[in-house]
Amino acid sequence: METAAAVNELSSDQFLTTVMSSLRNHRVIIASLFLPTTAVLGESSPPTPDIYAREIGTTAATQDLGGRPPAFRHASSRSIGSTPAPLKSIVDDLKSRAITPITTPPSELNPFSKFASLASSPTGKGSISPSSIQNIDVSLAKFQPDPVHTIRLQRRSSSKPPRYPSLTRSYTNPPSEPYYFAPNTHCNGGLKNAVDSVKDRMTSKLWVGTLGSSTDAYSTELKASVDRRMKEMHSSLPVWIPDAEFESCYDEFCHQVLWPCLHYAVPDAPKTKLFFESAAFKQYVAVNKRFAEAIESVWTEGDVVWINDYHLMLLPLLLRQSTRIPALARAPIGFFMHVAFPSSEIFRCLSVREHLLRGMLGADLVGFQTASYARHFRQTVSRILAVEALPKGIQVEYGIPGGAREGRGRFVDVGVFPMGIDVGALRVRRREPDVSYWVQLLRQRYAGMMIVVGRDKLDEIQGVKHKLEAFELFLKKWPEYQGKVLLLQVALQTTESNELAAGGVSDVVARINSAFSTLTYQPVVFLHTQEVTFSQYLALLTVADAFLVTSLREGMALRTHEFVECQDGRHRPLILSEFTGSYSYSGFRSCIAVNPYDTHGTAKAIHQALTMSDDEALSRWEDLHNHVVTQTAQTFVTSFLTRCLRANTEHTTQTDLNSVPALNTTLLIPRYKHSPRRILLLDFEGTLWRPDMSRAGLLAPFVPPEGAVELLNKFSANKRNEVWLLSGLPVKSLEQVAAKVPGVGIVAENGCFAKIPAQNGKGGVWISMVANLNLTWKGLCVEILNYFTERTPGSFVEEREASVVWRFWTGPTDDCSDRQWARRQAAEAQNHIFDSLGERYGLRIIPGSTSFLVLPNNISRSTAVGAILHPGGPAHSPRSSSMPDLDVPVNGGGGEAGFVFAVGSDEKLLRRLNELDNAETVSTSGKGTDAKWKLDAGDVGDVMRLFANCS
């Protein structure tokens, strides 16, 4: 017999195969603020530098050069076979950069362009011939910066003139204005690389985003031409947004409000007013609506919509509410947050917090880089929106206003999907001859020295200043390394405001270099990305003796993955900030972790890395490399889209109540009557019995209802019936029911305990489904709830044998202020319990309108029924006390019965029982259901008597 785990694994593999087959046949619409490719007005210019191509996952082959060669290129490097020039001092090479490191120097000052003249002639096997060097020079010519395309988006104050170059140009005849396509330097490079890595499985896709440059000067004809060619050549759909609207959205709201909030950098005065009362949210809404309209114009049935990052947090709900395309309300929509997500205490500071959260909850799946970010999101939603937050996701009660699901609750999956790199593609790039060439030159240039490499954006969040100060302290504390260790920092372009916010970086660089430089030694070499090709960057990672990341807050630091892969053969250590998402994964715990705010600790980590033994370095590298080759870009895309489609399938299978037929007794009673064996699964509370939910009724001693007892005895008297009563009440209360109906099996505390029906004097014992679980959490949980009980009038705690219930509201049903306060307290209590006990003890929380239940994970009425119907389960083997697996198939014992009849409101149970061909499921919830029939809760007694009276 197959085990439950094997069955579950087989099911998962089959589903994955089905999903990937679906991805090959259906289109994925990828919405990101910036397209991977942009249109540049003017005559075709040389391609973007290779470092940009790496950032966005493209190569020069994607350029639309019209067959024309680049307009200019690097000056030819001297042949390695030529007589080497005398060794120059690094100070001479980089003197301009030492003075003003933040200012991008001219390309001719790139130190890499001088390295060729410093190399000696290689001999023997594997040497690089002059002809091969010439070929490398030709290939490197492609990577000269494009002065038009490298202009980046700038955040500016109102006092500064626009910095968009196209705004200052005049186009007298736009339709005839030539343009060409180039890689978009603003595109999310990790996302583009990841999507490209699965192109064999994702055969049809469409990018939706902006060009990342000024477009007000574009005429209607020019836009139409760009639209047509972008779709044909690059599978992209441009979203046309007025410059002023985009600038306000991107430069003000995204970068001055959302970015600081998401990265724990809530500004102090005088920026506080802008942060809390930003008027740019109107433009943020407008930009999201333009994206929604663009997707509506191309979406067709079967398309999967993948929305990316904090720029488009409102888009999922806007698509769900579409009146133009109502079918979007049931479309598979996934949202992935590429950056960090803060704790609720930070996010709740935003005045538009509810709009942003509800926008994200329009998706079927919300994904994050790490478990902590996902937990922060669940807690934030629970606290601010007062909805149920479960380990798997969010139970939203309000549905989609204006959409096809209006008035119906829905579940939003929340998952963790660590981003990775395309290891195979990187290995191919590392084997290219120009990488080996630059490795050789770097080793010759810095012979006898140790190199610490860093690569970061020039904004405050990346902690570049902290890194420099730690390196300065390292040189002071260990003076023997002066002249022997240098820090080579590559800086990525960012906005002007962020560069200024990184404040003091140039001063620290100048201070270090002035204090420790000699004629042949400069401790800090500061480069911008346009000065370094990707081949040169890979060479730096290969020869590095350590890689240093001191981010103050960051998602997955993919540059660390690149470093680990490039160290295959050297195995030098990684120094990583504990505030990066990468550090949260066990594989990356083998790095040297640092707190970037602790300058002394970071300096000590640099010394530890440079003095680490080869054996220790190898052991650490193996752990790091195992994570890099496991959590790849392919895994990221596949797992996210698989989970998105699975979530959508689960969310949309639930049928609207109006389309579910009412229970047809004329059809079912004959089947019931002629079945040789029948299994009846009946809910107690809310179905056979309507309890008094007032405070007095809840506190009164339990008395078994006579009507329900009479009905159960009637059913159990028939030997062809096996009757099970499903309840959330504790064993102590249900013992009274068992005494009056001994022939009925009982499930207590929502699946924590089961009692076998007494037959021929045998059975009648209780079996614990939680015998092997640690229940010490109950005391801690009750202590937390007592704290909230003192602050919530009328509330009280019910401690049961394996679960805990908090009744936070026992007053009238109207939505008064006291009830609103009680709901907020309930949300806070759930958040606190889940945060402090949920993951530690494996708990789940089931909320209701006036109470919530805390019990162990994988325990439910559904698991209990799985045990009842499965041969060998605890219901069939009284000596068994093991907890059944959640995914135990229900068709083992159920197949022996000719008729399985389930009546209740547990949707999970009804959905599972639908797998049985001989099962009839009836919902009494009055909501959308997967059950085959619906029945009003008030009519249950009369209908059940019709069945009971049949022989």
Q: Quick one: 821 exposed, middle or buried, by C-beta within 10 A (0-12, 13-18, 19+)?
A: middle
Edge-to-edge strand ranges of the sheet holding 804-807: 796-799, 804-807, 851-856, 843-847
Strand pairing of 485-492 and 450-457? parallel
The per-residue pLDDT for 79 is: 32
Which of 846, 905, 773, 770 has its CA nearest to residue 391?
Answer: 846
Which of 908, 862, 863, 909 has its CA nearest to residue 882?
Answer: 863
Omega of the bond leading into 573 within 30 degrees of 0 (cis): no
Please state, in angstroms and rounded to a whole number, the distance separating the CA atoms of residues 413 and 135.
Answer: 52
The per-residue pLDDT for 879 is: 40
Which of 35, 25, 32 has its CA nearest to residue 301?
Answer: 25
The per-residue pLDDT for 461 is: 86
Assigned token pair, 788: 């909230």
Longest dimension (CA), the chain: 107
Assigned token pair, 252: 């003000």
Please state, in angstroms and rounded to a whole number, the distance separating the CA atoms of residues 810 and 895.
Answer: 43
Q: What angle do CA 467, 473, 478 make, to 5 degrees?
A: 125
Please state, in angstroms and rounded to a whole number, the distance separating the CA atoms of residues 684 and 489.
Answer: 68
pTM, whole model, 2 decimals? 0.71
Please state, in angstroms and rounded to a whole number, the distance separating the CA atoms of residues 302 and 454.
Answer: 44
From first CA to last CA, the distance across the chain in angstroms is 36
Q: CB neighbours (10 Å) of residue 364?
A: 29
Please state, in angstroms and rounded to a whole number, the distance separating the CA atoms of residues 586 and 639.
Answer: 19
**Amino acid letter, 139:** S
Q: Where are the alpha helices (DSSP H) in 4-110?
A: 4-25, 50-55, 90-99
DSSP assigned state of 529: G
Edge-to-edge strand ranges of the sheet holding 236-238: 236-238, 205-210, 28-34, 304-308, 333-336, 365-368, 410-416, 393-396, 388-389
Contact 594, 582 (CB under 8 A): no
Residue count of the chain, please give it.
951
Please state, in angstroms and rounded to a whole number, the distance separating the CA atoms of residues 340 and 631.
Answer: 18
Average pLDDT of each block of 10 consecutive residues along the chain (951 residues)? 36 45 77 95 58 37 34 32 35 38 38 46 36 34 36 36 36 60 90 91 92 91 94 95 94 90 76 67 96 96 95 96 90 95 90 94 95 90 80 72 51 92 94 94 93 90 92 96 94 58 77 92 88 91 96 91 94 95 86 96 97 95 94 93 89 69 91 91 92 88 92 92 93 93 93 85 79 92 96 93 93 80 84 83 86 91 86 50 41 62 91 88 85 90 90 67
DSSP assignment of 621-644 equals HHHHHHHHHHS-HHHHHHHHHHHH
Give the side-chain half-sphere CA count within 13 A for 872.
Answer: 10
Contact 152, 493 (CB under 8 A): yes
Q: What is the mean pLDDT of the chain?
A: 79
Please state, in angstroms and rounded to a whole number, the distance separating the CA atoms of residues 747 and 726.
Answer: 5
Please state, in angstroms and rounded to a whole number, the distance separating the CA atoms of residues 438 and 442.
Answer: 6
The per-residue pLDDT for 872 is: 63
Strand pairing of 766-768 and 796-799? unpaired
Edge-to-edge strand ranges of the sheet holding 766-768: 766-768, 753-755, 745-748, 721-726, 678-683, 899-904, 919-923, 933-934
Tokens 């022997």 locate to 484
Q: CB neighbours (10 Å) of residue 452?
A: 24
